[in-house]
A and B are shown apart, each in its own frame.
Chain A
Amino acid sequence: MFFESKSCFQRLSQESHSELMTDRKDQISELVEDARAGNRMAADQLVSLFHEDIFRMVYYRTSSRMDAEDLTQDIFVQMFKNLRSLKDAGRFRAWLFRIALNRIRDFYRKKSVMAFWGTTVEFDDTDHSDAVPHETPADKLIMEKEFLNQLNQFTDKLSKMEREVFILRFIDHLGIREIADTLKKGESTIKTHLYRALKKFRQTPGIHDLLKGT
């Protein structure tokens, strides 16, 4: 009886969650269509809906707030410029993340060229002290550093593709299909990489202890 009611509750919550997701998708699709038609308000609404996600995504790939801010701005400008080329408005999120990934790749390419010519300007690549406001308590700062340290230690063990898929799934909260669309790979390939990444995650004690300790 208990299990039946529990599974019933789970099913109900899953259904309501999927309904919410569908509503949100429909809303995004409408905004995309309006923005395509040249509606600035709709474009700005899309920016306000996604700018946190994109900023977070870029921040965890550049480790620099300043670079993440500039890149986020670039990504939304690119989004607005290329909105007409988006075929399916329902896949807007994956499309936006693909633009973001391409911009990050360009950023690293430029950075490597500048490093070759000796003109690299290092701002705050390793210093995360500006990541939180000044009123942040010291223990939060320590925790943040510890988290980033453990996350970096874990992601260093992953291959490029495993790392990308893992971060897109659990930090950027994309679904398997969205990741497949973003990386232009098959769903089964994404699942394989995710499986390998999770296996390595289970074998990494540091990050487990940190997550269990919270």
Chain B
Amino acid sequence: MKTESVHLNEDQLICAVVDESDLTVAVRNHLFACPACQNEKQQFEQELKILGHMAEKFVPLHRKAVSSLPERQGFWKNVFLSPVKWPRFAAGLTVILLMVGIWGSPQFETGYEEEIVQTAWESDEDQQMTTDIRVLEGYTLPEFYLDVSGETYGYFDEEFLEFVAPLEENQIHSEVIITDSVA
């Protein structure tokens, strides 16, 4: 009997409209028995129904026939009829033109013969560089210092030096040969 005296409050009323089964048993029993609360709930639901009806009423007429099959349009018609596709189409076309331009430029026209010439020229350059490195390995000092150290006197070969100033070993050896010949 107590439940009959306590009407549904605003939150319970909203809860009843959302889902009546979410109300507690006592509140549900009260709603079932109380005409005032039922009336209030029905009014609220009616208002929402009217909202739905009005929404249906004010929807414009659908003029196009709807089908589950896609409309068959040609590619060009599709592109030019849809403004959404213009930027995409333009971007794609630009990329293709750029690629054609790059590949068609003289820089990319490399024949087989040109490649051979290029390789030969590169190998000559490599050889020259190797020679330079070897020279540098032999004469690491600049020319001025090579003069000071006597490294530049390359024209005095070993035979000439032996003639001018023979090695001590060779002197003894020659003396022995002379003595042997005298004997």
- On whether A211 and B47 interact (CB within 8 A), knowing A73-B64, A195-B14, the answer reads yes
Whether the Cβ atoms of A76 and B67 lie closer than 8 Å is: yes
Interface residues of A in 43-70 (CB under 8 A from B): 43-44, 46-47, 51-52, 55-56, 59-60, 65, 68-69
Chain A residues with CB under 8 A of B52: 170-171, 173
A188: nearest residue on chain B (CB-CB)? B22
Cβ of A119 and Cβ of B47 under 8 Å apart? Answer: no
Distance from A204 Cβ to chain B, minimum over Cβ atoms (Å): 11
Is B113 engaged at the interface, CB distance under 8 Å to the other chain?
A: no
B71 sits at the interface (CB 8 A): yes
Number of B positions contacting A (CB below 8 A): 37
Contact A212 B83 (CB under 8 A): no
Q: How far is the CB of A110 from chain B (nearest CB, A)?
A: 6
- Check if B84 is an interface residue, CB within 8 A of chain A: yes
| Among A133, A170, A191: residue with most chain B CB under 10 A | A170
Min distance, Cβ B66 to any Cβ of chain A, angstroms: 5
Mark out the residues of chain A between 184 and 212 whose CB falls within 8 Å of any chain B CB in the assembled complex. Answer: 191, 194-195, 198-199, 202, 207-208, 211-212
Instruction: State which of B54-62, B139-147, B169-177 sits at the interface with chain A.
Output: B54-62
Measured CB to CB, the nearest residue on chain B to A148 is B58
Indicate whether A94 reaches chain B with its CB closer than 8 angstroms: no
The interface bits of chain B over 2-44 (1 if a CB of A lies within 8 angstroms of the residue's CB, else 0) are 0000000011001101110010000000001101000000001
B181 contacts across to A, CB distance below 8 A: none
Q: Does A79 reach chain B (CB closer than 8 Å)?
A: yes
Interface string of A142-174 (1 = CB under 8 A from B): 001001100100000000000000000011010
Give chain A's interface residue range (CB within 8 Å of chain B). Answer: 35 or more
Across the A-B interface, how many residue pairs have beta carbons closer than 8 Å?
105
The residues of B that contact A3 with a CB separation of less than 8 Å are 33, 35
Residues of chain B contacted by A68 (CB below 8 angstroms):
62
Check A20 for interface membership: any CB of B closer than 8 A.
no
What is the bound-complex CA distance between A66 and B6, given in angstroms?
Answer: 52
Interface of B: prevailing SS: helix
A115: Cβ under 8 A from any B Cβ: no
Instruction: List B contacts of A77 (CB < 8 A).
Output: 68-70
CB of B129 within 8 A of chain A? no
Q: Within the assembled complex, what's the spacing in Å between the Cα atoms of A195 and B11?
A: 9
Question: Would you call B68 and A198 a contact (CB within 8 A)?
Answer: no
Residues of A within 8 A of B83 (CB): 114, 119, 121
Is the Cβ of A212 less than 8 Å from the Cβ of B47?
yes
Which residues from 113 to 145 on chain A have a C-beta closer than 8 Å to any C-beta of chain B? 114, 117, 119, 121, 128, 130-133, 144
5 extra interface residue pairs, beta carbon distance < 8 Å, beyond A47-B66, A211-B51, A214-B50: A3-B33, A55-B62, A131-B58, A191-B22, A212-B47
* A residues neighboring B (CB under 8 Å): 3, 7, 35, 40, 43-44, 46-47, 51-52, 55-56, 59-60, 65, 68-69, 72-73, 76-77, 79-80, 110, 114, 117, 119, 121, 128, 130-133, 144, 147-148, 151, 170-171, 173, 176, 191, 194-195, 198-199, 202, 207-208, 211-212, 214
Chosen A-B contacts, 27 in total, with CB atoms closer than 8 Å, are A7-B32, A35-B68, A40-B68, A43-B68, A44-B68, A46-B68, A47-B67, A51-B62, A55-B66, A76-B67, A77-B68, A80-B68, A119-B83, A121-B83, A144-B58, A147-B55, A151-B51, A170-B48, A170-B52, A170-B55, A171-B52, A173-B52, A176-B18, A191-B18, A199-B14, A214-B50, A214-B54
